[in-house]
Amino acid sequence: MLRFLVRRSLTGLAVLLVASFLYYVAIAAVIDPLEDLRFTTDPNQEQLIAERVALLDLDTPSQIRYLSWLGAFVTGDLGSSFRTGQAVTTILQGAVVSTVQLLTVATVVAILLGVSIGIASALRQYTAFDYSITFSAFLFFSLPIFWVAVLLKQWGAIGFNNFLGDPFFGLVVLALAGLAAGTFWMLAVGGSPPRRLAVFVAGAASAVGVLLLLQLTGWWSTPHINPSLLAPLGVLTAVVITALSTGLGHRRALGASLTVVALGVLAWVLLTPFQLWNPVTAVMSYPLLVGLGALSAVVGAGVGYAWGGPDKGQAARTAAIVAVFMALYLGLDRMMQAWPAYSEALNGRPIATIGDATPGLGGNFWIGAIDAYTHLVLPTIVLLLISFASYTRYSRGSMLETLNQDYMRTARAKGLNERTVVMRHGFRNTLIPLATIVPVDIITLLGGALITERIFNRPGMGTVFLRGLDEGDIDPIMAYLIIVGALAIIANIAADVIYTVLDPRIRVDT
């Protein structure tokens, strides 16, 4: 493994070196740092041009200037913007964080949703559900990014903020929501006509009931996940996770998961009085939040082992996953409790349309977290639609290919239930081709982030790149391209390593 990593790293550095030379020469031939001075009416125009030519060494061929840039780069000096005088490292400090936040959330959500729905579509091949998912995937894939972004700003921000001023659902909205939810679950579950009808009624009634409950309890003004909502949500999570992980027939795993849910509800009651968890006087931080999540997983695993049995490892794994979800619900509840103060600070219009933070907002950790997420939600949805379609189609095709393999038929012939065949034998092999798609998709998302960041005015790397092109400033442009190129190389190396994890037959050191 070490030899493989060293070899691929050296190869990647060689590729990056050649690419950086081509980048520099091509960009130097395209941009014009003197464009603003050529059209100025300043009487000292010639002097200003001469000074800038000397500053940027424009009389020297770009190939020679590249060597000077490379010498500074290897020492950690990325140059500076001649427009503002700021060092590129200073410009990139906030820009990299903003872009990484956006890409991380969009990529993770797209993978989780795309793979899950794609596999479900494959398991129900040539059904109405499969055709609906296929149509939706191609529709999302063909939507222009800028058009979706503008629509989301209009309806996802302005329209939703207007709704929060008077959160009321009319009969038409409730009927449409019930029809959409009932149809989705009917197509997803399938079965005989009586079963379809029962699922449709249950799905529609559940959707309408939830919307009415949220409306009658004033949830939109004071959102929360108190025990009355945490308990059923936790039970549903425990049932779903157990069904996917071990099957509901594994009574000890189900019992351990439900025990974790009970402990989560108890934790809600016990943590509320503590100032550490209070949304007003919180001293919370992201490292502490991650630590609490890890502690929850350890406690969940301990509960699973405590239930004992011959398969205590499976019970521990299932209970640990459920514990992480319960910790997430608790964190969301505490964040939601800070929502009224945040909404009031923004005059009742909390969903942002521009930027990555509200200037001069102040507040504690929870206020800052809400502010970051409200600025992330719309651009994340835009980037999510780009990659969701591809993940759905690739996971569907990969699962269909896997289902037709001999070892899948052998597993069924051995008497294994369908859940075990799909999750334990099919799911892991389905992920192998996706390991190739993810690195490429990251680069695609970076391209989409250029447009998204411009429309939502996020001060990310895409904004730095576009501003550099507009102003003829080569150092910020090169920094962006080098970072993107390095990420592409790292992502491809990571894909090869993931291959060995998913398929032990693959060896990276051969």
The answer on pLDDT for 321 being more than 50 is yes
Q: Which two tokens stand for residue 441?
A: 């998709």
Closest by CA to 367, choosing from 344, 390, 400, 397, is 344
| Residue position matching structure tokens 């050529």 | 38
From the DSSP assignment, how many helices (H) and strands (E) are in the chain? 21, 0
| Residue range 32-60: mean pLDDT, rounded | 85
What pLDDT score was predicted for residue 506? 67
| Residue range 225-244: mean pLDDT, rounded | 89
Give helix 88-123 / helix 427-456 axis angle, nearest 10°.
140
184-198: pLDDT as tens digits:
888 888 778 888 899
Helix (H, G, I), strand (E, B) or coil at 124: coil
| Residue range 287-291: mean pLDDT, rounded | 87
The answer on pLDDT for 66 being more than 90 is yes
The answer on pLDDT for 370 being more than 80 is yes
Whether 379 and 146 have beta carbons less than 8 Å apart is answered as no
Closest by CA to 329, choosing from 401, 254, 231, 433, is 231
The answer on pLDDT for 273 being more than 70 is no
| Residue range 469-479: mean pLDDT, rounded | 90
309-318: pLDDT as tens digits:
777 888 999 9
| DSSP per residue, 421-487 | IIIIIIHHHHHHHHHHHHHHHHHHHHHHHHHHHHHHT--SHHHHHHHHHHHT-HHHHHHHHHHHHHH
HSE-CB at 483 with a 13 A cutoff on CA atoms is 22
| DSSP conformation class of 87 | B
Cβ neighbours, 10 Å, residue 51: 12
Of the two residues 335 and 310, the one the predictor is more confident about is: 335
The answer on pLDDT for 328 being more than 90 is yes
For 54, counting Cβ atoms within 10 Å of its Cβ (0-12 exposed, 13-18 middle, 19+ buried), the class is exposed
What pLDDT score was predicted for residue 403? 85
Helix (H, G, I), strand (E, B) or coil at 80: strand
pLDDT band at 416 (very low <50, low <70, confident <90, very high): confident
Q: Which residues contact 326 (CB under 8 A, 6 or more apart)?
A: 230, 234, 237, 260, 261, 263, 264, 267, 296
pTM of the predicted protein model: 0.82
| Residue range 27-47: mean pLDDT, rounded | 84
Helix (H) or strand (E) holding 488: helix 474-502
Whether 118 and 395 have beta carbons less than 8 Å apart is answered as yes
pLDDT band at 22 (very low <50, low <70, confident <90, very high): very high
Instruction: Please give the mean pLDDT across all residues of the chain.
Output: 86
pLDDT above 90: percentage of residues in the chain: 22
State the greatest distance between any 2 C-alpha atoms of the chain, in Å, as a whole number.
89
From first CA to last CA, the distance across the chain in angstroms is: 9
The answer on pLDDT for 274 being more than 70 is no
**Chain centre distance of CA 108:** 4
What pLDDT score was predicted for residue 176? 94
Pick from 90-94, 102-106, 443-447: least confident: 443-447
**d(C-alpha 407, C-alpha 25), whole Å:** 53
* C-alpha gyration radius of the chain: 27
Phi, psi at residue 149, to the nearest 5°?
-60, -45
The neighbouring-strand residues paired with 87 are 80
What pLDDT score was predicted for residue 299? 94
| DSSP conformation class of 7 | H
Of the two residues 396 and 438, the one the predictor is more confident about is: 396
The answer on pLDDT for 276 being more than 70 is no
Of the two residues 132 and 436, the one the predictor is more confident about is: 132
| Residue range 335-356: mean pLDDT, rounded | 88
HSE-CB at 311 with a 13 A cutoff on CA atoms is 15
Closest by CA to 159, choosing from 288, 295, 305, 349, is 349
| Residue range 335-343: mean pLDDT, rounded | 88
The answer on pLDDT for 40 being more than 80 is no
The answer on pLDDT for 322 being more than 90 is yes
Whether 403 and 426 have beta carbons less than 8 Å apart is answered as yes
What pLDDT score was predicted for residue 509? 59
Of the two residues 322 and 425, the one the predictor is more confident about is: 322
| DSSP conformation class of 280 | S
pLDDT band at 298 (very low <50, low <70, confident <90, very high): very high
What pLDDT score was predicted for residue 67? 92
| DSSP per residue, 244-280 | HHT-TT-HHHHHHHHHHHHHHHHHHHHHTT-TTT-SS
Pick from 31-45, 165-179, 270-284, 486-500: least confident: 270-284
Q: Which two tokens stand for residue 390?
A: 């591809």
| Residue range 259-270: mean pLDDT, rounded | 91
Q: Which residues contact 262 (CB under 8 A, 6 or more apart)?
A: none
The answer on pLDDT for 280 being more than 70 is no
Q: Which two tokens stand for residue 159?
A: 């329209």
The answer on pLDDT for 237 being more than 70 is yes
Give the C-alpha distances (Å, rounded to integers) separating 254 from 416, 425, 440: 20, 22, 39
**d(C-alpha 242, C-alpha 402), whole Å:** 23
The answer on pLDDT for 283 being more than 80 is no
| Residue range 383-410: mean pLDDT, rounded | 85
Residue 126 φ/ψ region, left for φ over 0, alpha for ψ in the -120 to 50 degree band, beta for the rest: left
What pLDDT score was predicted for residue 275? 47
What pLDDT score was predicted for residue 384? 84
